Amino acid sequence: MSLILGYVATLLVTFFTYNIFVIGLNIQFGYTGILNFTVITFMAFGAYFYAVFVMPHADNASQVFYILGLHWPWPLAMLAGIVASGALGYLIGLIALKRLRSDYLAIVTLATGTLVYGLFGNNNKLFDGWSGLFNVNQPFQSVATNHPNEFSWIFVIFSGLIMLVVWLFANRLYASPLGRSMRAIREDQDVVDSFGKNSFKIRMLAMVIGSVIVGIGGVLTIQYIGALSPAGWTTGETFVVWAALLVGGRANNLGAILGSLLVAVIFNEATRYIPQVPSHPNLIPNLRNVIIGSLVILSIWFRPQGVLPEKKASFLEVPLVDKYAQGFPGEEPDSALSPAGSEA
Amino acid sequence: MTIFLLNVGFGLVTASVLSLLSVGLSLQFGVTNFVNFAYGSYLGVGMMLAYTFSQTLHFPFWAAAALGTIGTGVVSMVIAEGVLEPFVRRRKSLFYMLIVTFGLSLVLDNLLQIFYGVDFFQYPVAQSSPVTIGPFSFTSAQLAIIAIAVVAMIGVHLLLSRTRLGKAMRAMSDNMDLARSSGIDTKNVTRWTWFLSGCLAGLGGIVLALNIVSFQTNSGETLLFVIFAAVILGGIGQTYGAMLGALVIGMVTEISTSFISSAYKQDIAFIVLVLMLLLRPQGLIAAKGKA
């Protein structure tokens, strides 16, 4: 029983963290139309920086090397991880957001992802190279001492609360004037520019907010697992987030939640129990990636708006009444939009 | 100094590999006007097709390389006809085209891994001792790579300047609607462009594999952004610009190894890409309306 409880807790935490990733990408892509092809790098940034801020100084005798090792309390380290992720988003934005074509940003994000992956993996002085960081200090360890599940369930509540805050924030943002500007940029940036909006600033805000949110998810991931290595953030992981957003419905946060439930939790977890083929140990993960990639393509073909499409904006419209408009006798004077006197 | 000159020689080899790849990407971008993020996977297709033809089917290596090149072209054409062009015909926005090609890269990479696994492969080409030419030193494979690239670049130049297909491609790259209304069969030209782009990607993949000697299915994948750097440097969609960009990026990345560890040479390409985007995003040879 306790095994099942622990498993359910892990599923819930996975669900919550993926929700956060998908909402972060939703603000970037769904709201603003920013193509971030390396979502998972931001997750890794958040996680790694949380780790090096919270862990004690690297002990050279153990042959595990990492930078900093400041041993800060976990809430502060959490903040550091989130800031690091946001800063990466800001830097990428500085390089690529001024360009008109969205291809450039996509190229820069992809290049950054490849670069960071190689740099963090090959350089074992930064974040311990390919073996990655482990024994990362987890929060709530002083209270959750009785049973491993106790930590898991405290963490379910913790990550659930954070997800809720992120969710409320994302919805608030969607309805705000800033969110409307973001969606307007997605539809036609030139129009937004011509209305005097600083579209570069708005896109940058979306980029940074999205990166910060993905960073929060990254911090939660490493807090729960206590370890992360480059194998945990390959390009395939970015696709899981993309697939979840596209399947669920872009620009709809409920869709984001549904998508992460369907793709990240149900599909990814279900395929874990397919028995391995001994001669091809990578067959199942490879097949999973093929399916995720096809899912992305097929969802754009069949239902680009997702299972739960974005709600059509409804504005409070004051009916235009033209008091000079004169209809013919017996005709409803409803032609409010026609120029006055045209019918006279 | 000798090491510096040696690296210049290696820069020439890398530039040759890159020139094939960046011209292939650039040609396709010019005509279809969207970036193909699955291009890195086409390199793997070329490498592995050539490997299959030479190792499993026992063709002589040059024939296997030729078949691998053409085979990648066919794969590229089939993917374009079967997957990408339907999306274009539905007038999907640029966003979606990019996501589709991005998704395609994941599918192709993993299909290659399913078929070939994650082992390292090697072509059955005898490793000769390096030949010294002046201050440079090349293996015979590297000399062959340079020769192939030079021939291919001359071929692309002749195609673009002397043939109807090449002129049609340039016309479509300049103005799609005008090209269509002047009676160019744009569908057919697009098809051949994808074929040609795939051939260059496959050939580039094969010579890349020859250069690095032992390769995996995804060895071309990390090169994708170096190709992008070369293409953007030259001016996106500009074929001759792509050749120039490849030369610059190839030289810069290899010469940088005289000063810093060769593990970081791709990072140099990234720095060049960033500088270019900040200072001259339209590229060395600017194209109107493309940036």
Range with lowest mean pLDDT among A40-49, A264-273, B253-262: A264-273
Residue A62 has pLDDT above 80, yes or no: no
With a CB cutoff of 8 Å and minimum separation 6, the contacts of B58 are none
Q: What is the pLDDT of residue B289?
A: 47
What local confidence, expressed as pLDDT, does residue A341 receive? 43
Quote the distance between the C-alpha of residue B122 and its chain's center: 20
Work out the percent of chain A whose per-residue pLDDT is above 90: 38
Residue A200 or residue B262, greater confidence: A200
Q: pLDDT by residue for chain B (291 residues), tens digit each?
A: 678 888 888 899 999 999 999 999 999 998 988 899 999 999 999 999 999 999 889 899 999 999 999 999 999 999 999 999 999 888 778 888 999 999 999 999 999 999 998 889 988 887 777 888 877 888 888 899 999 999 999 999 999 999 999 999 999 988 888 999 999 998 999 999 999 999 999 999 999 999 988 899 888 888 898 999 999 888 877 888 899 999 999 999 998 888 888 778 888 888 888 888 888 877 777 665 444
Task: Give the pair of three-digit tokens for residue B175.
Answer: 């103005």
Phi-psi region of A196 (alpha: psi -120 to 50; beta: other; left: phi over 0): left
Instruction: Please check whether residue B47 is in contact with residue B201, taking contact to mean a CB–CB distance below 8 angstroms.
Output: no
d(CA A295, CA A274): 19
Q: What is the DSSP string of A179-194?
A: HHHHHHHHH-HHHHHH
The Cα A170–Cα A191 span in angstroms is 24
CA gap B85, B29 in Å, rounded = 14
The torsion angles phi and psi of B286, rounded to 5 degrees, stand at -80, 140
Nearest to A204 by CA among A188, A226, A221, A181: A181
The answer to whether residues A138 and A226 touch, using CB atoms and an 8 Å cutoff, is yes
Count interface pairs A-B at CB distance under 8 A.
Answer: 125
Q: What is the mean pLDDT of residues A222-240?
A: 88
Helix (H, G, I), strand (E, B) or coil at B14: helix
pTM value is 0.88
What distance in Å separates the CA atoms of residue A152 and residue A147, rounded to the nearest whole number?
9
Residues 6+ apart with CB under 8 A from B253: B11, B14, B226, B265, B266, B268, B269
CA A219 to chain centre: 13
Intra-chain end-to-end CA distance of chain B, in Å:
40
Cβ-proximal residues to A15 (8 Å cutoff; 6+ apart), any chain: A260, A261, A264, A265
Which pair of tokens denotes residue B165? 């297909």
Phi, psi angles (nearest 5°) of residue B215? -140, 160
pLDDT for the residue A121: 86
pLDDT band at A329; cut points 50, 70, 90: low
The token pair at A287 is 């097949």
The mean pLDDT value of chain A amounts to 85
Q: Which residue in this structure is represented by tokens 């690239």?
A: B149
Q: Average pLDDT for residues A300-307, to the nearest whole number?
A: 86
- Quick check: B179 and B168 in contact, CB under 8 A? yes
With beta carbons under 8 A apart, name residues in chain B contacting A286: 110-111, 113-114
Element (H, E) at A324: none
pLDDT of B164 reads 92
Residue of A31, A40, A114 to mutate, interface with B, max B Cβ within 10 Å: A114
CB contact under 8 A, A280 and B114: yes
Stronger pLDDT, A320 or A310, i.e. the higher one: A310
A95:B277 CB<8 A: yes
Residue with tokens 């919805």, as numbered in its chain: A171
**Rounded average pLDDT over A160-185:** 94
A176-202: average pLDDT = 91
Q: Do B114 and A290 touch (CB under 8 A)?
A: yes
What is the Cα–Cα distance from A195 to A310, expressed in whole angstroms? 24
Q: How far is CA B19 from CA A79, A150, B9, B234, B250, in A?
A: 45, 59, 15, 11, 9
Measure CA A14 to chain center. Answer: 13
pLDDT at A99: 67
Q: Report whether pLDDT(A90) > 90.
A: yes
CB-CB neighbours of A37 under 10 Å: 25
For range A221-231, the mean pLDDT: 89
Interface of A with B (CB under 8 A): 29, 33, 35, 37, 95-96, 98-104, 106-108, 110-112, 114-115, 118-119, 122-123, 235-236, 239, 242, 246, 280, 282-283, 286-287, 289-290, 292-294, 296-297, 300-301, 304
Distance between first and last Cα of chain A = 82
The most distant pair of C-alpha atoms in chain B lies apart, rounded to whole Å, by 57
* pLDDT of B19: 95
Angle separating helix axes A39-54 and A2-25, nearest 10 degrees: 120
Helix (H) or strand (E) holding A158: helix A148-175
pLDDT band at A324 (very low <50, low <70, confident <90, very high): low
- Residue A25's pLDDT band, with cuts at 50, 70 and 90, is very high
Chain B neighbors of A99, CB-CB under 8 A: 277, 281, 291
What is the rounded average pLDDT of the residues A125-143? 82
